[in-house]
Structure 1
Amino acid sequence: MDRDARLRRIRYRAWHRGTREADFLIGGFFDCCHAEWGDDELAWFEALLEEQDVDIMAWAIGTAQPPERFAGPMMKRLQRTDYIDTTRDGV
């Protein structure tokens, strides 16, 4: 799969989680940061997308410790949550 198709697929999955809160958190993180990601970061994010939203949100807001496989700079960036734009409409 070429990179553009991969990014479109990932973006769709990031913004269609099932709840608006998860969409803003996960989709917002993707939109804010994906341009600077290489293949390793994209693979990390794709693995994150396989996790339950409630777990991702707990890791992001610090109410639960992320598993070792998700610990590191990408998780630290997700935890900043400064990328969330709740004024976004019609995703």
Structure 2
Amino acid sequence: MLNQQIAQLVMWIGVIMIIPALYRFVYAASALTWRRLFPSKIFEVRFFDEESNTQKSVVIKLPKDRSASLVSLIDEALSKEKHADVHRK
């Protein structure tokens, strides 16, 4: 009886610990599936500056078959930003 309760307790602790990792995996996989099923052609990126309370937005229009190019543009911009930060230090 006690062994069964301990086994159930260990199982539930394992379930509680694995749920966040499983959630992140399922969320990422569903985002990729959603993008394949409903490819977007228009992306709006908003920048909000809390100090001056200004908001700027950029609208990017892409053909349906080139949606992967947005991801590569973002990766390229981030790598350039990291590269510039390294040279500033």
Q: Same fold (TM over 0.5)?
A: no
Which of structures 1 and 2 has the larger relative contact order (alpha carbons within 8 angstroms, sep 6+)? 1
TM-score in terms of structure 1 length = 0.27
* Higher Cα Rg, which structure: 2
TM-score in terms of structure 2 length = 0.27
